[in-house]
């Protein structure tokens, strides 16, 4: 397989593997745990390395996952002690663990080829050079196998625990009352996040892990209300960000991980403004429409109030309306046009309005509502 195809395949697998647990991180409002875990796993890797003295040993993954879970345990212990809030607990725990790791690396840097740069920034372009060979047969990049395994693990865990995850995410109290153990579920889920972060940061660096875990699910949440759709959409968005980021970086010859992270952000910003229901623009349009609708109702009530009174001639003049209801001429025109279109009023001559039977009925209902 050509190099760039292998990188892309790896990028797709990493993106999908990260987006899956990311959905629940975002929905449970613990997104930043991914940031904490993806940094503090460095300590586990360093400690495990001191134990086995081999950077390719599987014990490193075990150690890293263990520190990931340790991070969660420490954050929760601090939070539960009541001395600091949860956000402060996160901000206290992971820098301390990361500092310890950096200190250990700096002290014993000569012995290991693990520099903080590659941990944070990652270099996915180098991943295909670490091959997995068995009996002299080249089986492809090692990271690809590992991330493939993690992807399968994540998908399987989410499928098997679907009901439990869904319930404990949206109604933790009910989940606990029904006898699902929130603690067991929580820690199993966090273990999953840790394993994913460990596997992925070897390939793409811890920052991109955070981007892939949080941005695509948050984007998907702006686009759908269904959990199944959100999961599918998150994977799709993460994969397209990874691929477009890869090609952007390839063409401009810049950091691949950085470009992928940037693309997840581009996707989020687009959805933030343009999402069909929840986008900022849709919100503005909806508010404008509601304002015109409400003003139309106001107009009908106003006309009904003065129907058959002495000042009817005066009060139904279009130019007087503008004054009386304090509408700008432009706004008044829009309101009247709409009221005419839905058949609440009709024009009498060029400057007066009269209610239709439908308009009269609407105004009566509107007043009693």
Partner 1 sequence: MGDGFLSALLTDPTLRVVGLGAGAVGALAGALGCFALLRRQSLLGDAVSHAALPGIVLAFLLTGSRATPVLVLGAAFAGWMGTLFVMAVVRHSRVPEDSALGILLSVFFGAGLVLLTYLQRTPTAAQAGLDTFLFGQAATLLIQDVILVVGVGAVAILLLALFWKEMKLLCFDGEYGRVQGIPMNRMDVLLTSLLVVAIVLGLQTVGVVLMSALVVAPAAAARQWTDSLGVMVLLAGVLGGLAGVGGAWVSTLGDGIPTGPTIVLLASAVVVVSILAAPRRGILWDRIRLRRTRARLRSGSPGSALPGDTPGGGV
**Rounded CA separation 336/331 (Å):** 9
Site string for partner 1, 281-310 (x = CB under 8 A): --x---------------------------
Rule CB under 8 A: say whether 211 interacts with partner 1.
Answer: yes
Q: How many CB atoms lie within 10 A of CB 269?
A: 11
Rule CB under 8 A: say whether 111 interacts with partner 1.
Answer: no
Among 46, 185, 261, 299, binds partner 1 (CB under 8 A): 261
Alpha-carbon 269 to chain mean position: 11
Running DSSP on this structure, what letter comes out for residue 205?
-
**Rounded CA separation 161/227 (Å):** 14
| Structure token pair of residue 275 | 């999402």
> Which is nearer to partner 1, 239 or 335 (by Cβ)?
239
> Which is nearer to partner 1, 187 or 273 (by Cβ)?
273
Among 96, 191, 227, 236, binds partner 1 (CB under 8 A): 96
| Structure token pair of residue 79 | 């939070």
| Structure token pair of residue 265 | 């952000």
Bridge partners for 313 per DSSP: none
> Which is nearer to partner 1, 31 or 322 (by Cβ)?
31
Return the HEC string of 96-150: HHHHHHHHHHHHCHHHCCCCHHHHHHCCHHHHHHCEEEECCEEEEEHHHHHHHHH
Among 10, 146, 195, 207, binds partner 1 (CB under 8 A): 207
Site string for partner 1, 5-44 (x = CB under 8 A): ---------------------x--xxxx-xx---x-----
Total number of residues binding partner 1 (CB under 8 A)? Answer: 62
Rule CB under 8 A: say whether 278 interacts with partner 1.
Answer: yes
DSSP β-ladder status, 137-141 and 131-134: antiparallel
Rule CB under 8 A: say whether 237 interacts with partner 1.
Answer: no
| Structure token pair of residue 33 | 């745990």
**Rounded CA separation 316/307 (Å):** 9
Rule CB under 8 A: say whether 87 interacts with partner 1.
Answer: yes
**Residues near partner 1, by CB under 8 A:** 26, 29-32, 34-35, 39, 78, 81, 83-85, 87-88, 90-92, 95-96, 98-100, 102-103, 106-109, 116-117, 120-121, 207-208, 210-211, 213-215, 217-218, 221-222, 249, 252-255, 257-262, 264-265, 268, 272, 278, 280, 283
């Amino acid at each position: 397989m050509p190099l760039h195809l292998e990188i892309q395949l790896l990028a797709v697998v990493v993106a999908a593997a990260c987006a899956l647990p990311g959905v629940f991180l975002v929905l449970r409002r613990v997104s930043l745990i991914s940031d904490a875990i993806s940094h503090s796993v460095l300590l586990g890797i360093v400690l495990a390395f001191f134990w086995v003295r081999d950077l390719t040993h599987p014990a490193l993954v075990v150690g890293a996952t263990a520190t990931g879970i340790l991070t969660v345990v420490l954050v929760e212990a601090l939070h539960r002690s009541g001395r600091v809030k949860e956000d402060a607990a996160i901000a206290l725990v992971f820098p301390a663990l990361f500092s310890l790791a950096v200190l250990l690396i700096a002290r014993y840097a000569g012995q290991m080829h693990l520099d903080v740069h590659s941990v944070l920034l990652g270099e996915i372009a180098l991943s295909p050079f670490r091959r997995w060979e068995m009996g002299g047969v080249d089986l492809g990049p090692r990271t690809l196998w590992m991330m493939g395994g993690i992807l399968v693990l994540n998908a399987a865990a989410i499928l098997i625990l679907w009901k439990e995850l869904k319930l404990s995410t949206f109604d933790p109290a009910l989940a606990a009352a029904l006898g699902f153990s929130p603690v067991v579920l929580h820690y199993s889920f966090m273990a999953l996040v840790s394993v994913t972060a460990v596997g992925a940061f070897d390939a793409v660096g811890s920052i991109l892990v955070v981007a892939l875990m949080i941005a695509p699910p948050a984007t998907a949440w702006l686009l759908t209300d269904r959990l199944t759709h959100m999961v599918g959409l998150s994977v799709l968005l993460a994969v397209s960000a990874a691929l477009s980021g890869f090609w952007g970086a390839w063409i401009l010859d810049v950091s691949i991980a950085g470009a992928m992270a940037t693309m997840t952000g581009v996707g989020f910003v687009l959805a933030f403004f343009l999402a069909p229901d929840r986008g900022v623009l849709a919100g503005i349009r909806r508010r404008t429409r509601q304002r015109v609708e409400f003003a139309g109702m106001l107009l009908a009530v106003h006309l009904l109030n003065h129907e058959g009174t002495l000042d009817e001639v005066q009060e139904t003049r279009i130019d007087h309306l503008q004054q009386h209801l304090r509408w700008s001429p432009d706004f008044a025109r829009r309101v009247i046009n709409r009221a005419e279109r839905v058949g609440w009023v009709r024009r009498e001559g060029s400057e007066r309005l009269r209610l239709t039977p439908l308009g009269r009925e609407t105004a009566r209902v509107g007043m009693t509502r």
